[in-house]
Amino acid sequence: MILIDGKKAAADLREELKKEVLSLKDKHNKVPGLTVILIGDLAPSQIYVRNKEKSANEVGLKSEVIRYPDSVEESEVLKKIDELNNDDSVSGILVQLPLPKHIDKQKVIEAILPEKDVDGFHPMNVGNLSSGYESSIPCTPLGCYLLIKKIEPNLNGKKAVIVGRSNLNGKPMTQLLLKENCTVTITHSKTNDLKSECLKGDIIVAAVGIPELVKGDWIKKDAIVIDVGINKTENGLVGDVAFDEVSKVAKALTPVPGGVGPMTIACLLKNTIECFKRNLGD
Ligand code: GUN
């Protein structure tokens, strides 16, 4: 079984991106800039944002974090986004989710210029991705996609089963695999006989948020299994896949942690660079 090393893949990608930033700096005399807006003091969000900032600095991006207290007015956040939309030194804008209840998530997402939407959450980017046009691609499914392609470069005709239908993961993952000529089934927590659906998959992407849902006897022999889940349990951090059982059947499997997670952040940096290049017509 191949244990897919997301940490190594992410480090390799950051190395590539670092070189690209240097050559963009040579060519344009400026570097791509990422601005993250963080509202409130949720511990996981604080950790994510710190890691994003550290990684952005590591590859040579200009990085800025704007912090607001939980009580900030929605209008103040929207005003800041408008300012960043009009700031040429800012290539990408990310508002860390979740947001406090009094702030309308959709309004915030739609306030970000699609050309600076490094998350790929703006309806314009969602539509472009599903139409097969150029777009920002959400970082987690992009990371999963790159890991799958490392194991199997030719996905033509493969059967992919996605467990989870979220806008963040399941739906964009489907679009990426369709583009690669996979036959894609989207399943979710209400799917009848999830086990028999999963058993058909040459590729399984589990992104449903249920600890160790996907069992060893749900997996076709030699399938590639990507675990997007991060669930806190009394036994520590576990994914959506029962790792020990599945590792006996799968050809390749991502661990949790150390699989998809590190790739997500590296892909955010990649998206920032893509936005910079697209905005300059490079
Ligand atoms: N919170 C958890 N994951 C994400 C993400 O990918 N983007 C944003 N903006 N917030 C998140």
Ligand 1 center–CA 265 separation, angstroms: 10
Full DSSP string of 247-277? HTT-SEE--SSSSHHHHHHHHHHHHHHHHHH
**What CATH superfamily is the domain 139-261?**
NAD(P)-binding Rossmann-like Domain (3.40.50.720)
Say which of 116, 117, 119, 270 is annotated catalytic: 119
Q: In this structure, which residue's CA is closest to atom 8 in ligand 1?
A: 96
In short, whether 109's Cβ falls inside 6 Å of ligand 1 is no
Specify the pLDDT at position 282: 76
User: Is 166's C-beta closer than 6 angstroms to any atom of ligand 1?
Assistant: no
Give CA–CA dist 270/50, Å, rounded: 17
Q: Ligand 1 centroid vs 85 CA: distance in angstroms?
A: 19
Query: Are β-strands 231-233 and 236-238 bridged in parallel, bridged antiparallel, or unpaired?
Result: antiparallel
Amino acid code (one letter) for 133: Y
Nearest to 161 by CA among 148, 174, 149, 143: 174
Residue extent(s) of CATH 3.40.50.10860 domains in the chain: 29-113
The answer to whether the CB of 119 is under 6 A from ligand 1 is: yes
The DSSP letter of residue 165 is -
Asked whether the whole model's pTM tops 0.85, one would answer: yes
pLDDT at site 189: 82
Give the atom of ligand 1 at the shortest distance from the alpha carbon of 268. Answer: 6
Distance, in Å, from the CA atom of 48 to the CA atom of 200, rounded to the nearest integer, reads 35
Respond yes or no: is residue 119 known to be catalytic: yes
Return residue ranges of the chain for CATH 3.40.50.720: 139-261
Q: Which fold has domain 29-113?
A: Rossmann fold (3.40.50)
**pLDDT tens, per residue, the chain with 282 residues:** 999 999 999 999 999 999 999 999 999 999 999 999 999 999 999 999 999 999 999 999 999 999 999 999 999 999 999 999 999 999 999 999 999 999 999 999 999 999 999 999 999 999 999 999 999 999 999 999 999 999 999 999 999 999 999 999 999 999 999 999 999 999 998 999 999 999 999 999 999 999 999 999 999 999 999 999 999 999 899 999 999 999 999 999 999 999 999 999 999 999 999 999 999 987
Catalytic: 175?
no
169 lines ligand 1 (CB under 6 A): no
Question: Which SS3 state, helix, strand or coil, does residue 202 take?
Answer: coil
46 is catalytic: no
Q: How far apart are CA 179 and CA 240, in angstroms?
A: 25
| Bond from prior residue into 257 cis (ω within 30 degrees of 0) | yes
Residue 226: HSE in the Cβ half-sphere, 13 Å Cα cutoff: 32
The residue contributing the CA closest to ligand 1 atom 3 is 97
Among the options 62, 80, 96, 270, which is catalytic?
Answer: 96
124 in ligand 1 pocket by Cβ < 6 Å? no
Q: Give distance in angstroms: CA of 45 to centre of ligand 1.
A: 8
- Closest-CA residue to 250 (of 201, 211, 207): 201
> Is the beta carbon of 37 within 6 A of some atom in ligand 1?
no
- Closest of 249, 208, 209 to residue 225, by C-alpha: 249
Distance separating alpha carbons of residues 100 and 80, to the nearest angstrom: 17
Q: Calculate how far, in angstroms, residue 60's C-alpha sits from the geometric centre of ligand 1.
A: 22
pLDDT recorded at residue 173: 98
pLDDT (0 to 100) of residue 94: 98
